[in-house]
């Protein structure tokens, strides 16, 4: 009988409130090594709030289990926990300006995470940054240019390189193709596919578009009004949606 490996990320009964209202309620999730998990749902369903909790960017109001690589992540003030977040994860946002310094070069932006993790030799950091950028298809001739001169699609690819330069175990992506034109979106998705083919990095991708989830995700969670209402292997969800929200998302894709 096939046995699943131990999850690298696990959260149980997570809830989150903001402004006096419930944002998330009783959310349970497991992420396995090298898995690509998509979180889908309509605007306001709680997708990004859940992602931000999983990535350690905000704390849940309540939660019974929260583990990363077996480490209890509920000890939020522990410096060991904080370092584990930085070392084991990377994060890609909708807007590259949230994580990149647009006045710095692409290479310097990518290398910055290495300095944050304690690497002190600038030459080594910049070389690793260049290697990661080139592996993801960024043109070597433009790595010294400031990010502000790049298109939206290029900025997103720089974000991935910066999030991946330290070889994290988990990459979090929050609507990374939002606002990109169809050509830039296709190039970005090619980059994600390359990351997946390289193996070793699990991903959690938030999107409202099941077509994107279908391209790269192994498994899909569907959210509605702060609850996880459906969970299935991607192909199963596409062909046999049960929950009304899942059905509506599949119909919108057709």
Dist. CA 236–CA 137, nearest whole Å = 33
Q: Which two tokens stand for residue 178?
A: 């939002």
Cβ-contact 171, 202 below 8 angstroms: yes
Q: Which two tokens stand for residue 193?
A: 């596919």
Query: For position 47, which CATH number holds?
Result: 3.40.50.300
Q: Which two tokens stand for residue 58?
A: 């905000």
Domain that holds residue 242: 9-99+170-253
Burial class (CB in 10 A: 0-12, 13-18, 19+), 18: exposed
| Residue 135 belongs to some domain of the structure | no
| Residue 48 belongs to some domain of the structure | yes
| Residue 57 belongs to some domain of the structure | yes
| Residue 207 belongs to some domain of the structure | yes
Instruction: Specify the 3-state DSSP secondary structure of 134.
Output: helix
Q: What is the largest CA-CA distance in the chain?
A: 54
pLDDT, tens only, 137-156:
889 899 999 999 999 889 99
pLDDT, tens only, 152-172:
889 998 999 999 999 999 999
Kindly tell me the sign of the dihedral angle through the C-alpha atoms of 117, 123, 124, 127. positive
Tokens 């992540």 sit on residue: 73
* H or E element in which residue 80 lies: helix 79-88
Q: What is the model's pTM?
A: 0.93
pLDDT of residue 2: 57
| Residue 129 belongs to some domain of the structure | no
Q: Answer whether residue 4 shows pLDDT above 90.
A: no
| Structural domain count, the chain | 1
Q: List the strands of the sheet with 65-68, edge to edge.
A: 21-31, 9-18, 65-68, 71-72
Cβ-contact 234, 218 below 8 angstroms: yes
**Least trusted range by pLDDT, from 122-126, 176-180, 216-220:** 176-180
| Residue 56 belongs to some domain of the structure | yes
| Residue 234 belongs to some domain of the structure | yes
């Amino acid at each position: 009988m096939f046995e699943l490996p131990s999850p690298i990320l696990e959260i149980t009964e997570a809830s989150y409130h903001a402004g006096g209202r419930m944002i998330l309620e009783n959310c349970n999730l497991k992420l396995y090594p090298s898995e690509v998990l998509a979180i889908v749902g309509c605007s306001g369903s709680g997708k990004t709030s859940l992602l931000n909790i999983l990535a350690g960017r905000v704390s849940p109001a309540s939660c019974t289990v929260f583990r990363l690589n077996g480490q209890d992540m509920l000890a939020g003030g522990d410096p060991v926990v904080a370092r584990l977040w930085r070392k084991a994860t990377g994060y890609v946002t909708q807007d590259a300006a949230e994580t990149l310094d647009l006045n710095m070069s692409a290479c310097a932006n990518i290398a910055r995470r290495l300095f944050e993790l304690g690497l002190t030799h600038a030459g080594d950091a910049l070389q690793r940054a260049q290697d990661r950028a080139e592996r993801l298809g960024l043109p070597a001739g433009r790595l010294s240019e400031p990010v502000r001169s790049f298109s939206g699609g290029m900025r997103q690819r720089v974000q991935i390189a910066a999030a991946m330069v330290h070889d994290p175990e988990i990459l979090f992506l929050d609507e990374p193709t939002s606002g990109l034109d169809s050509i830039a979106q296709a190039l970005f998705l090619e980059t994600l596919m390359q990351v997946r083919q390289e193996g070793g990095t699990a991903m959690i991708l938030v999107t409202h578009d099941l077509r994107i989830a279908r391209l790269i995700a192994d498994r899909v969670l569907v959210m509605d009004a702060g609850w996880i209402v459906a969970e299935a292997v991607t192909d199963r969800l596409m062909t046999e949606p049960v929950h009304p929200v899942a059905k509506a998302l599949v119909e919108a894709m057709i």
